[in-house]
Structure 1
């Protein structure tokens, strides 16, 4: 199944960078329509970047998209993965770090739909990939179980 990965870090840095760039350029060149249109175009390009993640039977596929066009695809077979690590981010967000033997690690923050966590656990069990859940992640799981049983 294919999952959409949220790009909160990218959007936060892009907004901060655009505000900073706007302040610097208006001080140097003054406010103009051309400057505004260039910055708006940069903002549209940055917001068009997306990540998709697919859990298959024999591999994991991570795609980087611009609008709907695939820019980069990374396929991971179980022998490429050293560990799948479930972590907690900020206050109550779940994330997965896929530690890769060669190359950069893959970070998945709140994939949509949230069944990705269960499917990654199943993938790790089927292919004997090391699975690690941090203490904070286990707290989030218990909190979700308590909330689900009280309703």
Structure 2
């Protein structure tokens, strides 16, 4: 009886270790690793603003690239740039190396609103993590 109880205890303790765990890996790509983003892809995904940065991430559903762009509308004397429009496009790379758009988002400054003069993505607050532990990336974009 002791052997059976011991065996059941060992199996119960080992079962969480045998469960398949999936994780989401993400990184900001350096500019030198974004040469795959050709002018034809930019045109296909309507990326008309300059690309600020590209996040690469992978989860159980595949490999993705989230491309963040911001317009450069005004540069003032202190060399500060004002952005009036932003756009992010999330694309998936399939096994054949083809890209397809998964989702996109955009926003803009209301020109008549005197309280808002600039808009942009805060890369220090952007993450692609598996928050609900389902194996899929949950984007958090500020």
TM-score between both structures, scaled by the size of structure 1:
0.26
Structure with greater contact order relative to length (CA < 8 Å, sep ≥ 6): 1
Higher Cα Rg: structure 1 or 2?
Answer: 2
With the length of structure 2 as denominator, give the TM-score of the two structures: 0.28
Structure with the largest fraction of helix? 1
